[in-house]
Amino acid sequence: MFFQNLTMRPTINELSNSDRFRLLKTLHHKEIVDFVLENLRQLHAPIVFYYLFNLLLLLYVIFFGIYSIYTGYLGGKTILLYFLAGIFLGMVIVIPFHELLHGVAYKLAGARKVKYGACLRQMLFYASAPGFVVGKKQFTIVALLPFVILNLVFIAGYIFLEPAGQWTSLVALLSHSSLCIGDFAMMNFFSSRKDARLFTYDDPEKEAAYFYESVPQETADSER
């Protein structure tokens, strides 16, 4: 597939039993919220982009709403009603499509099986490829595909629809972009280890994801 070879991917056996890799982190599924919050505080490129994008978008949503009321472009009741519709669209209706696109990206990367699920206690929805190893570049594409595709759909709605549809699309764009916080937190974790090649895979039976980093050859030789 088109990005299967973005990086050479080791097998799980190689990750676990080769001195070329070391286990960096075991992330249990019940710890995901804490993991996300931890990585929101680490200012690397992915999370900085996430903050700036959503801040600028929020400011534009506020400007558009005030401008629409002031000029009569949209009435106050319409603003409120379609604001709620936009939130519902961008944070609820969009969820299955968001996760489906993650799954499509995994399939394009070569995964044979994709698992979808939810943890309502943590308000988490996910798509995973059990036992499928991905590196940083592949994971970045998996993480970004829903953000790019669905946001382009909302941007198209803002450009081409009538005023109420524009407002709904704009609020949905902000809502969905905010919803991508977990994807950007995970990319931020990868970016925190700039000098290492990272690989990860999910083990649903143990309810955990494993992160390995490559060990420089000279370090591996010295540890033998």
pLDDT tens for the 224 residues of the chain, in order: 445 455 567 888 888 888 888 999 999 888 888 888 999 989 999 999 999 999 999 999 999 999 999 999 999 899 999 999 999 999 999 999 999 999 999 999 889 899 988 777 777 888 889 989 999 889 999 999 999 999 999 999 999 999 999 999 999 999 999 999 999 999 999 988 776 688 999 988 888 999 999 876 544 444 44
Do the domain assignments include residue 42? yes
Do the domain assignments include residue 6? no
Do the domain assignments include residue 5? no
Do the domain assignments include residue 1? no
Do the domain assignments include residue 70? yes
Do the domain assignments include residue 2? no
How many other C-beta atoms can be found within 10 angstroms of the C-beta atom of residue 45?
11
Q: How many domains does the chain have?
A: 1
Do the domain assignments include residue 197? yes
Q: Give, rounded to a whole angstrom, the gap between the first and last alpha carbons of the chain.
A: 37
Do the domain assignments include residue 28? yes
Domain that holds residue 49: 12-222
Look up the pTM and report it: 0.89
